[in-house]
Amino acid sequence: MIDWENRPIEVANLFNPAFCGEIIRICVKSYAQETNKPFPYLLSFLILPILLYENTRMSINARSYTQLHVWIQDHPHLRINFAERVRELTSITQESLSFLVQIGALNLDNEGKLAIVKYRKKNINSQQTSPIKDFYDKADVLGKWFARAGSITTIYVMWGIQP
């Protein structure tokens, strides 16, 4: 991981832990609401590679009731280089998770599960930040997809990678 001060401004802005952390937090929350269970830590490493990649994010219909496996079958080209994206974003995911735990927005238990902690956050004016709102809406969909898709191994296999 490059020190914060030495990162290019574009990288620092896009991959800042608060923004990436909120995407992860929304996905974790959506999963927990669907399953009444904490979120598996290993799945957190798939969130950013899916949602920060524009072609993948834009292919997700936030109003669709499609299941994850059906969506992936309909968009097989999105699996190309996915393992590489996961590797490239692993340190960003770890940094974002650390940030969330430090500010008390997430708990990581001894079993490797993530749970949402209620905390106060400023609401975002959705009219002024529609691109950001799109990230958050798609994170909500992804959390529901993960909740309904089966085991961690099954989800990783759908994406063509190994846990």
Biggest alpha carbon–alpha carbon distance for the chain: 42
Residue 140 has which token pair?
């909500």
Query: Where does the pLDDT of residue 122 fall: very low under 50, low under 70, confident under 90, or very high at 90 and above?
Result: low
Which of 30, 41, 16, 45 lies closest to 138, judged by CA? 30
CA distance 2 to 154: 33
The per-residue pLDDT for 62 is: 80
Question: What average pLDDT does the segment 134-147 reach?
Answer: 95
In tens, the pLDDT along 55-70 reads 999 999 887 788 999 9
Q: Is the pTM of this model over 0.85?
A: yes
Query: Where does the pLDDT of residue 6 fall: very low under 50, low under 70, confident under 90, or very high at 90 and above?
Result: confident
* CA angle at 33 for the pair 27 and 39, rounded to the nearest 5°: 50
* CA angle at 65 for the pair 30 and 150, rounded to the nearest 5°: 60
Question: Who wins on pLDDT, 67 or 5?
Answer: 67
